[in-house]
Structure 1
Amino acid sequence: MTDDENPGPNRLATGTSVLTLSGELDYDRGDEVSAQVDSAFAARPPVLVVDLSRVTFADSFALRLLIIAHRRMRTGGGLLVLAGPLTEAVSRLLEATATDRYFTLAPDLPEAERMAAAFRSPPATDTGPA
């Protein structure tokens, strides 16, 4: 994997960071992928979208990394969104471990961006006359 294929996080005008991962996410690439995730956290985004649409294989290492990222975002009051479309390998891993119900999943990047915008702009409360 070259740096051009996994350039690191992009920051959108909305403040959301998007980290695009590709190829195989496994123990052999652990240091590389961990560094990319740490780089995304360095920007302290309110929302981190991890684009998994180009991931061809993911194992327990990848799942552990995503769970840790999810916990880090929640601890800091943020949101982690996993964006697809997810490959069969990633979908199978999330479904087999029931973490498809743990993570916030978006079918694609545009939907992930909408979810990020909604997270940052909670619904207005009615402050009309009592």
Structure 2
Amino acid sequence: MPTLTLAHERLPGVTVITVRGELDATNREQLDDYVQDLTDARLVFDLSRVPFMDSSGLHVLLMCEVRCRRAGGSVHLAAVQPLPARLFEITGVLANVPVHPTVEEAVTAALGRAQRSV
């Protein structure tokens, strides 16, 4: 099983989740359990250290996005590596989930969206 390391940092109005390692069917449940424990409606996923992701990892991110949207929030993806970016492109995820070059830009966008919806 590929090793997956997860951490998060709560900032005012948004939580940044840092994911490290390959994300696939063997460890998707670990990410799913981790995000289930977070009650924040605005999340940024730092994917800068995720060299590979399969559809099961993508599914976890999309279900998280649905849950956040229902709570009035959003999910933003940051620093996506080439292979996961290709998966997002092929599946059409880019039309529904914002992707940003850096974590800082994703946080700014998440907070900007939060401020407009208030």
Q: TM-score, normalised by structure 1?
A: 0.81
Partner secondary structure for residue 27 of structure 2: helix
**Aligned equivalent of 2:14, options 7, 10, 16:** 16
Q: TM-score, normalised by structure 2?
A: 0.88
What is the match of residue 81 of structure 1? 76
**Aligned equivalent of 2:87, options 90, 93, 96:** 93
What is the match of residue 34 of structure 2? 36
Q: Report the structure, 1 or 2, having the larger helix content.
A: 2
Higher RCO (C-alpha 8 Å, min separation 6): 2
* CA positional deviation for 1:37: 1.5
* CA positional deviation for 1:106: 1.4
**Aligned equivalent of 1:57, options 52, 56, 60:** 52
Gaps of 5+ in 1: 125-130
1:123–1:57 CA distance, 2 compared to 1 (3 A): closer
What is the match of residue 48 of structure 1? 43
Q: Distance in 1 between matches of 2:41 and 2:52?
A: 28
Q: Distance in 1 between matches of 2:67 and 2:109?
A: 18
Q: Deviations over 1:9-29 (max 9, x none)?
A: 2101x1311111111110101
Alignment of 1:105-116 (within 5 A): 105-116=99-110
- 8 A Cα contact 2:9 2:15, kept in partner: yes
Structure 1 moving runs of 4+ over 2 Å: none
Q: Distance in 2 between matches of 1:63 and 1:117?
A: 23
Q: How many residues align?
A: 116
The percentage of counterpart residues that share the same residue type is 31
1:29–1:123 CA distance, 2 compared to 1 (3 A): closer
- 8 A Cα contact 1:46 1:120, kept in partner: no
- Once superposed, what is the RMSD of the aligned Cα atoms? 1.8
What is the match of residue 128 of structure 1? none
